[in-house]
Amino acid sequence: MTFDSTNSEFRDLFDRSYHYYYYPLLHLVAFLLHLKFQYDRGHCLPEDIKVPFMQSLQCSRNELYNFLMLVPLKKEIDLMILGTLVHRVLVSMLTAQCKVIDCIGHIFDITVSMAL
């Protein structure tokens, strides 16, 4: 499928390509949720470890976290809401801009290297 206004073209991913993209992103979302979970319980990272957060990423992560924490264990999760919230996190993460003063970059750079 090609759009008239750009030269962009979308292609179907092969099964193996899907997993190449899926796993690093899954690790990132799990890492972000785990950080929030630990922070809410009074645990913090050591002071010398800085995780760069853009405001949009922090807000979208918190929305996803709150949604997951409020769903009762015996109730099925609404996949439409879950998909929308995960999409917001991924867009916030993938469009984050790095500050010049950040040594590593942004959260995606950190978690991809941890997942390898």
Full-model pTM = 0.71
The enclosing H or E element of 11 equals: none
DSSP letter at 41? T
6-46: pLDDT as tens digits: 555 656 666 666 667 777 788 888 888 988 898 899 887 77
The enclosing H or E element of 47 equals: none
92-108: pLDDT as tens digits: 887 877 665 656 556 66
pLDDT at 81 over 70: yes
The b-or-e profile of 20-32 (16+ CB within 10 A means b, else e) is eeeebbeebbebb
> Average of pLDDT values for 61-65?
95
